[in-house]
């Protein structure tokens, strides 16, 4: 098993400290704990502005000692031990207020009554916006899983194939390619499995997920991956799935059909490919995400696709790309209000798509890393509609 090296953790620590506006952080959420320790064992991470962090572990202490390169790892039975372990937390202590449950917040903060409690989530999220070389390599491996899966799909397509049947094949291929088996999402109540398998009008089916691709699933309780809807000749099949390697995510989408799709769908997809090429040229250091987004909308507004761009009806979303890393919904986002310039190391999933109610949708999605001279596409398989 590969563990996160000490020097990699130290690079992450230095980056988080660049964004800290408090004396220390208390980290409790699994993903942030992993980012700063290299393990997801349950406990309390005290992260000071200077010096070695302290990881007090409730379960499993033994596994944390094996997996994490942190020097100060101690067992923790109850939160009441925290004042003895952290006698001088500082005047201001930051908590992950964007994700921390109220009950947990109340249980832990009562042991820091001499400190002012502030929101420290921004320091970690902003640090994670730019990936290290190690993290980019993990995302590259996740993108490889996607390419392998996308290239396998044409051999599986047949009339009468159900969405959930293809979903099962997708999961098998990706697991055999090393997929981690889960996708993490930060936002409250935004759940994710592998992604969406949507035939025809399913891609425009209404849903609660903050993404443009509709999906029905087998049950109302779990609207994920695919339903019993079968594939018919001449309709688009949209596959929007995430790869996962060592905690890190790549996101991609491709469109398929048995026989040719309609002229409307073909022309729409061709426009999307041209638009995606233009977006690629914007993914370079110094570019402002909100300005890229405004320019995309301006270009699309001059076409007949504007009312169907990035979602059908209430599925329409106000972004064209989102960052990926340890979570699916990282920052920055190609959307309004994201005004910090892009930097080398930002990893974005770019997904221009168009959807028609009752017909479905076409489009593409690729994972890119911003480089010193532009960007690199990590999902490398062809983007044209795969027609079998």
209-257 per-position pLDDT tens digit: 999 999 999 999 999 999 999 999 999 999 999 999 999 999 999 999 9
- E-assigned strand segments in 85-168: 92-95, 116-119
> Averaged over 25-43, what is the pLDDT?
98
> Averaged over 170-185, what is the pLDDT?
98
Q: Which residue from 28, 167, 172 is spatially nearest to 102, judged by alpha carbons?
A: 28
pLDDT > 90? residue 114: yes
96-111 per-position pLDDT tens digit: 999 999 999 999 999 9
Q: Residue length, the chain?
A: 388
Establish how many alpha carbons lie within 13 A of residue 295's alpha carbon, considering only the half-sphere containing its beta carbon: 15
Q: What are the chain's domains? A: 6-128 (3.40.350.10), 133-387 (3.90.230.10)
What token pair was written down for 294? 């405004």
pLDDT > 80? residue 29: yes
pLDDT, residue 217, reads 95
> Band of the pLDDT at 362, cuts 50, 70, 90?
very high
The strand order across the sheet containing 248-257 reads 195-199, 237-245, 248-257, 386-387
Q: Give every CB contact of residue 53 below 8 A, 6+ residues apart in sequence.
A: 13, 36, 37, 45, 46, 47, 70, 72
CA distances from 42 to 117, 124, 226, 370 (A): 22, 18, 33, 33
123-154 per-position pLDDT tens digit: 999 999 999 999 999 999 999 999 999 999 99
pLDDT, residue 382, reads 98
297-312 per-position pLDDT tens digit: 999 999 999 999 999 9
pLDDT, residue 110, reads 96
Q: Give every CB contact of residue 127 below 8 A, 6+ residues apart in sequence.
A: 12, 15, 16, 18, 19
> Averaged over 47-67, what is the pLDDT?
97
Pairing of strands 237-245, 347-350: unpaired
pLDDT, residue 1, reads 75
Whole-number Å distance between alpha carbons of 232 and 230: 7
Q: Give every CB contact of residue 129 below 8 A, 6+ residues apart in sequence.
A: 323, 330, 331, 332, 343, 346
Task: Identify any residues that bridge with 360 across adjacent strands, giving them in sequence order.
Answer: 356
């Amino acid at each position: 098993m590969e563990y996160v090296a000490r020097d990699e953790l130290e690079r992450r620590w230095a980056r988080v400290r660049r964004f800290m506006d408090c004396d220390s952080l208390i980290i409790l959420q699994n993903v942030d704990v992993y980012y700063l320790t290299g393990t997801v064992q349950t406990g309390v991470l005290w992260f000071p502005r200077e010096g070695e962090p302290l990881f007090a572990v409730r379960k499993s202490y033994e596994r944390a000692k094996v997996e994490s390169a942190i020097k100060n790892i101690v067992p923790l039975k109850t939160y009441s031990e925290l004042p003895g372990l952290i006698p001088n937390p500082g005047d201001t202590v930051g908590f992950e207020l964007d994700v921390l449950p109220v009950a947990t917040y109340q249980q832990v903060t009562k042991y820091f009554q001499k400190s002012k409690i502030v929101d420290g989530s921004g320091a970690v999220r902003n640090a994670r916006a730019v990936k290290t070389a190690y993290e980019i390599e993990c995302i590259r491996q996740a993108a490889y899983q996607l390419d392998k899966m996308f290239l396998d799909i044409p051999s599986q397509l047949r009339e009468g194939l159900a969405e959930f049947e293809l979903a099962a094949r997708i999961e098998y291929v990706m697991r055999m390619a090393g997929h981690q088996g889960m996708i993490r999402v930060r936002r409250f109540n935004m759940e994710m499995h592998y992604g969406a398998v949507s035939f025809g009008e399913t891609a425009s089916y209404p849903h609660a997920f903050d993404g443009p691709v509709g999906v029905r699933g087998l049950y109302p309780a779990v609207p994920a991956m695919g339903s019993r809807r079968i594939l018919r000749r001449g309709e688009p099949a949209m596959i929007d799935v995430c790869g996962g390697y060592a905690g890190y995510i790549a996101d991609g989408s491709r469109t398929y059909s048995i026989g040719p799709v309609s002229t409307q769908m073909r022309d729409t997809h061709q426009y999307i490919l041209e638009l995606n090429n233009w977006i690629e040229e914007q993914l370079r250091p110094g570019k402002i995400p909100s300005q890229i987004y405004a320019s995309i909308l301006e270009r699309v507004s001059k076409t007949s696709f504007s009312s169907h761009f990035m979602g059908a009806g209430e599925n329409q979303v106000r972004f064209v790309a989102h960052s990926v890393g340890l979570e699916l919904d990282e920052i920055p986002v190609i959307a309004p209000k994201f005004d910090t310039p892009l930097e080398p190391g930002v990893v974005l999933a770019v997904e221009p798509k168009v959807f028609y109610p009752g017909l479905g949708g076409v489009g593409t999605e690729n994972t890119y890393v911003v480089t010193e001279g532009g960007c690199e596409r990590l999902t490398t398989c062809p983007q044209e509609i795969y027609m079998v």
